[in-house]
Structure 1
């Protein structure tokens, strides 16, 4: 893309400089006593534009890297300049600036090889001019200055290009290294956080006193905050990679918002916030994971900055499209801060802000995802009155046919046979303990190689080492059983990349650290599928 635009820009600039040169020749011709001397140059300019304009049209219609086309364009430039300098003599000396521009322009736009080629052609052009023009032969020192300038300036430009390229490569390498570090650190730290969260859920279900339950609640709240921080870090890493290709699909907007509310029930309780969700029957075409991340981040901000106040989530019709709206009655944002709140790490400073957790990444992630999936974000706020956040531009689609089934309850997990595959011992132990407290019968495997099971549902980590992945383990069990056993993958890696890679396998995917309510809700959803297959 950059190369195509560079060549088109060069072709446009060729016409611009050619027009300026023609104007200069016309002025000089009218001011000079020998007008006839410049007439051939003016006729040549007609030929120049008659060639340069179709050349630009060809570049625009057939973009790409064509060496012969670039060589032809350079030859046209230098031939035109040589003709002007030979015929016009000293009166056309300023045209040398255009020759230097052609040399530098090709190098700056197309790289060092083209700079060397252009410099060689420029020196050859000057040699021809010197041999064919008496005026230049009579000014050897002036002409030598032009020769030296034609060598020194491109040589310096080459040094700058080389240094810029090296600096750019180092910056890219450093950024890639940073991204790899963030991804690995995030994954490695998610594992213990994930297991601690599951162990905490087991403690909550144990017979503890009020004081012990209060301590467990504090641990759970702290883990929730850390989980959000790591999700933000992984979201930034994934967006920085620039490799996301979000796939839109029909999504029940009301169900998606209801899931987000369920996942934030505990966080709302801690903040003393009453979450109010208005029912929504609409279906939209969107990437569900990315829209969920946007709503989650906006809702998290509302919980942080409007504690003790109700938060309303609804959907508004805007012509043929829909907007998700989140209202809060928090302290609001001053008008001077609104243009900056979507910047990374930007936080509006208020008294006692130390009590509000976060890195200032949430709104930045929302903005970047909105550009990726072609939605608009609008934030309106007034100090002391609250904030309204809107995700606009959701395209309505026809609803999919959904078979109504009774809502699942926790009793559906009683006796459920679960095959759990996880290579981290602590996560394996914590997940198994929690599932057994919910009444499941759990068989555990620390390796995905050669796993056979007569289970009802499979839960696997995506990364099981170098031999087999969680997806491959699930595929092997399904092949062994002869039917599509309901399955879930829990992962600390890039969730959108894994969703995209496994979209054809009908596997539920949860990002680590997984909150116990998320795990339970997903299990209950999978029991629906299992029950429908059995019947």
Structure 2
């Protein structure tokens, strides 16, 4: 075995024999003293007393000798093993004098007692010393060899019988001791190998966790850095679209915004994963009408199915389930979208069936299918079947990962069965509830037009390509908006967009400039009715803390709204815990204006 492993095993052996050091000394020399007393009573001789004194003195020396302890360095283990083996060999050699002193042909009782004592001592040694094979041999062989020789020397039949018996016992003892030593050594090797494997596994798990954390940080940073310019593009594009509303270039502006929205939706998908990992999604469980939800799915995907010359069959069932309507809709839309992408001919079916108190929702397709070895991997992030070239038309490979995360969040188990070339079936299991018609409209409405809202930290984003609202008599809007953002381009883009819709905006790059704006004499006559803050500001500041400090300092009733491109889980958790409304970059102009309408009454009445 490797050197270090061998030393660790030997260290355990040494620790084992030294753990019984005191007991073995007391037992061995106690037996020797008892033997000497019996011999002296039976046959008083001065040399018996001398032998006992020498024997006990030797035991006292051994008792006082330095011993191995747990703090001994590993490298010294071999030296301590040899030392203990030499010590027990000397003890055995000292005891080996007893047969020649006490055995005689005319004193069979004494011979019998001595034989029993020595054999018993060897039996005890076998149990205590088999971890160290040299010590076992060093203790057993001198005593037993002396006993056998002394018995055979007497020459009569009884002593020869005892000599043969002792020889057989010696061979048996050494065989059993060797087997026990091997068994103990193998078990220790296996233990240390398992510990090494566990340590390696721990290192690999730690490395995987670090890689996952680094990936999350990278995605958060990359997502934020990509969202910043995209946010500015979206704002400038929305302002341009509004300015060119009656111009012949409006179609190009609309195409630009569709491309911007498509890119924003890709980033939103990554954001959804970050939100789920951050634990900031809180399900709002309620009775859900599956028929209403299926109608929304049909409306959403009918055009896509028609473009691909596929049939989309959505079957009514009249069933109701207990779930979060928004999150369940996201699961089903991801499954349907995935099925359509990987189906070249035939179609996709969505159906629901009752099974006892459970409802099975199944999404079936006649697509390419999934090989058995890939069926577990399809729920991994960025894994796509038959898309090694990362064709963007087939998405990012995150949709099923979101489905799997949502299934755990909602406790809706998801199963997949598939045959290559024949199609795939995804099945969700949900608790069934009795029909509740009073909830039907409420459950269906959110599904018909999914969009981003100010409560984004607890709801999912979905494609938002709504046309910008027209504005009438914006001058009727009272109040101003204070925009705090450390990037000049975004301040300019946001100001142009809002001013284009008649909203008075004052911008600030940091908290100091915001304090100046709020402290001006004319602020009371024209108060700010809204603080619109970017979450990540320069010098480590964040819009949440800055906005709250401004509200406290100036006693503002103006609400705070955050704008962020953050995806870092810990930051998302903090934003959600604050309860402050959040818009995620790139901010859709229509969503922004509708949200502002909640705080600017004149704007709300002007939007049609």
Q: TM-score, normalised by structure 2?
A: 0.49
Aligned length: 400
- Aligned-partner Cα distance in 1 for 2:237–2:569: 28
2:214 matched to which residue of 1?
177
Tell whether the 8 Å contact from 1:343 to 1:363 is kept in structure 2 after alignment.
yes
Equivalent in 469, 473, 478 of residue 551 of structure 2: 478
Tell whether the 8 Å contact from 1:460 to 1:490 is kept in structure 2 after alignment.
yes
Return the offset for 1:223. Answer: 2.2
1:439 corresponds to 2:512:
no
1:5 matched to which residue of 2?
none
Q: Which has the higher contact order (CA 8 A, sep 6+)?
A: 2
Return the offset for 1:519. Answer: 1.8
Return the offset for 1:377. Answer: 5.4
Equivalent in 518, 523, 535 of residue 596 of structure 2: 523
Q: Secondary structure at the match of 1:494?
A: coil
2:186 matched to which residue of 1?
149
Cα distance change on mapping 1:527 and 1:318 into 2, 3 Å? farther
1:63 matched to which residue of 2?
none
Equivalent in 197, 200, 207 of residue 160 of structure 1: 197
2:160 matched to which residue of 1?
none
Return the offset for 1:160. Answer: 3.0
Equivalent in 347, 360, 367 of residue 333 of structure 1: 367
Return the offset for 1:524. Answer: 2.6
2:481 matched to which residue of 1?
418
Equivalent in 250, 254, 257 of residue 220 of structure 1: 257
RMSD (Å) for aligned C-alpha atoms: 6.1
Cα distance change on mapping 1:166 and 1:122 into 2, 3 Å? farther
- Aligned-partner Cα distance in 1 for 2:572–2:286: 15
Cα distance change on mapping 1:207 and 1:364 into 2, 3 Å? same
- Aligned-partner Cα distance in 2 for 1:287–1:358: 24
- Aligned-partner Cα distance in 2 for 1:391–1:342: 14
Return the offset for 1:215. Answer: 3.2
Equivalent in 395, 400, 412 of residue 358 of structure 1: 395
Return the offset for 1:530. Answer: 11
- Aligned-partner Cα distance in 1 for 2:283–2:473: 32
Tell whether the 8 Å contact from 2:563 to 2:584 is kept in structure 1 after alignment.
yes
Cα distance change on mapping 1:354 and 1:170 into 2, 3 Å? closer
Q: Secondary structure at the match of 2:561?
A: strand
1:206 corresponds to 2:206:
no
Equivalent in 548, 559, 583 of residue 510 of structure 1: 583
Equivalent in 208, 220, 228 of residue 191 of structure 1: 228
Tell whether the 8 Å contact from 1:246 to 1:373 is kept in structure 2 after alignment.
no
Tell whether the 8 Å contact from 2:547 to 2:560 is kept in structure 1 after alignment.
yes
Cα distance change on mapping 1:245 and 1:223 into 2, 3 Å? closer
Cα distance change on mapping 1:333 and 1:139 into 2, 3 Å? closer
2:531 matched to which residue of 1?
458
Q: Secondary structure at the match of 1:456?
A: strand
Residue pairs, 1:61-140, within 5 angstroms: 135-137=172-174, 139-140=176-177
Give CA deviations for 1:26-60 in whole Å, capped at 9, x if unaligned. xxxxxxxxxxxxxxxxxxxxxxxxxxxxxxxxxxx
Return the offset for 1:198. Answer: 1.4
Cα distance change on mapping 1:185 and 1:204 into 2, 3 Å? same
1:427 corresponds to 2:490:
yes
Return the offset for 1:185. Answer: 1.0
Cα distance change on mapping 1:136 and 1:184 into 2, 3 Å? farther
Q: Secondary structure at the match of 1:356?
A: helix
Mark the runs of 5 or more structure 1 residues left unpaired by the alignment: 1-89, 91-95, 97-119, 403-408
Q: Secondary structure at the match of 1:442?
A: strand
Tell whether the 8 Å contact from 2:234 to 2:257 is kept in structure 1 after alignment.
yes
Cα distance change on mapping 1:173 and 1:354 into 2, 3 Å? closer
Tell whether the 8 Å contact from 2:482 to 2:507 is kept in structure 1 after alignment.
yes
Tell whether the 8 Å contact from 2:597 to 2:604 is kept in structure 1 after alignment.
no
Give CA deviations for 1:328-349 in whole Å, capped at 9, x if unaligned. xxx8635657957545445465
1:117 matched to which residue of 2?
none
- Aligned-partner Cα distance in 2 for 1:438–1:246: 33
Tell whether the 8 Å contact from 2:232 to 2:493 is kept in structure 1 after alignment.
yes
Tell whether the 8 Å contact from 2:286 to 2:323 is kept in structure 1 after alignment.
yes
Moved more, 503-512 or 174-183: 503-512
- Aligned-partner Cα distance in 1 for 2:557–2:531: 11
1:489 matched to which residue of 2?
562
- Aligned-partner Cα distance in 1 for 2:130–2:325: 54
Return the offset for 1:186. Answer: 1.2
Q: Secondary structure at the match of 2:586?
A: coil
Q: Which has the larger radius of gyration?
A: 2
Cα distance change on mapping 1:505 and 1:243 into 2, 3 Å? closer
Return the offset for 1:300. Answer: 6.0
Equivalent in 239, 247, 255 of residue 282 of structure 2: 247
2:16 matched to which residue of 1?
none
